[in-house]
Amino acid sequence: MASRQNRVHFPSGSRAGYNSDRHSSSSSSSSSHRQRTPDTSPDLYVEMTLTPSPTKSRSSSEMFGGQSYHSNTGSADVPAKVAVHLTLASVKHADPSERPFVWDVTQHPNDIRGPKIYGPTLPSPYVIPPEIRKQPALTPVQTGVTISCHRLPWAIHVVAPDGENTVTVEHILRGIYNFLRHPVNGSELQNMYRAQPALKEKVEAAFRARIAHVPENKRSEERSKGIKRVDLLGDIVQFAGLSPGSEEDLLLMHLVPLAP
């Protein structure tokens, strides 16, 4: 598989609402993450120290047999330390008693649920209040952020909309969702299956499970779109927060099996 990047852009004024097919990822040779003076409260963030990386090209051969992706987002502007919003921090998601929300990433971000410890909750965009969703995801504030996940051979690049000077909590949630909704092309999929034959059964089971949750009158249309990136995750689909990555991949996304 050729080296690639996948950048999620948000049009100006598109803060409210989501569309799984409207926002697309495009190739790019580089991105520059400019910093702005943050207007944030320190008690909302967890500080993280980034790991220097001697190379910007990592192999995904363990899962995909020699295929690799290339992330070229490092720059002198990336700070040695960043702090991630508590809502997104992996340290908050590791403890069920502190977990701020439960999100099955196969589902729309508006279907995020409150933690079970608070009793039964209905899906609601207000599990994460609007004022929290609009806050910067990181401090120092970044206009673009790269997220990697060891279960996927692509990096996610989330870029703030034109006219906005920071990637917010909302942008991160929406960026992950939109990125995972993109189809996997046939040649990539066959290469993955050849590299790891057991993967095919897991991916196809995940695909069937996802289609089963689609309203019946839309299943045929969704099925025709084929395997999507989210299906590569199998049953490891619960968001478990973000932790420090390297100077090239600013954040790592963690996933765990979906809680009952």
**Domain ranges within the chain, ordered by starting residue:** 35-182+235-256
Give me the chain's average pLDDT, please: 75
> Is residue 204 scored above 70 in pLDDT?
yes
- Most confidently predicted of 25-34, 39-48, 123-132, 209-218: 209-218
- Specify the pLDDT at position 134: 93
- Residues 100-117 have pLDDT tens digits of 899 999 998 888 887 654
Confidence of residue 222 (pLDDT cuts 50, 70, 90): very high
Burial class (CB in 10 A: 0-12, 13-18, 19+), 192: buried
Number of neighbouring beta carbons within 10 Å of residue 130: 11
Residue 66: left (phi > 0), alpha (psi -120 to 50), or beta? left
Angle CA(196)–CA(200)–CA(206) in degrees, nearest 5? 130
Find the helix or strand (DSSP H, E) in which 139 lies.
Answer: strand 138-139
pLDDT of res. 71 = 33
Distance CA 133, CA 175 (A): 13
For residues 78 and 30, give the distance between their C-alpha atoms in angstroms, rounded to a whole number.
14
Q: Which residues pair with 8 in a beta bridge?
A: 25, 158
Q: No. of H helices and E strands in the chain?
A: 7, 13
Q: Tell me: the pLDDT tens digits for 2-46?
A: 334 455 544 333 333 333 333 333 333 334 344 444 456 666 767
Who's near 19: CB < 8 A, 6+ residues apart?
178
Burial of residue 109, with CB atoms counted within 10 A of its CB: 0-12 exposed, 13-18 middle, 19 or more buried:
buried
The residue assigned the tokens 């968001």 is 239
pLDDT at 76 over 60: no
The predicted model scores a pTM of: 0.73
Q: In the prediction, which pLDDT does 200 show?
A: 95
DSSP 229: G
CB-CB contact of 10 with 206 (8 Å):
no
**What SS3 state is found at 59?**
strand
3-state secondary structure of 239: strand
Answer for the pair 68, 61: CB distance below 8 angstroms, yes or no: yes
Q: Which residues pair with 7 in a beta bridge?
A: 26, 157
| Angle of CA points 185, 57, 250, to nearest 5° | 95
- Residue 96: band (very low, low, confident or very high) from pLDDT cuts 50, 70, 90: confident
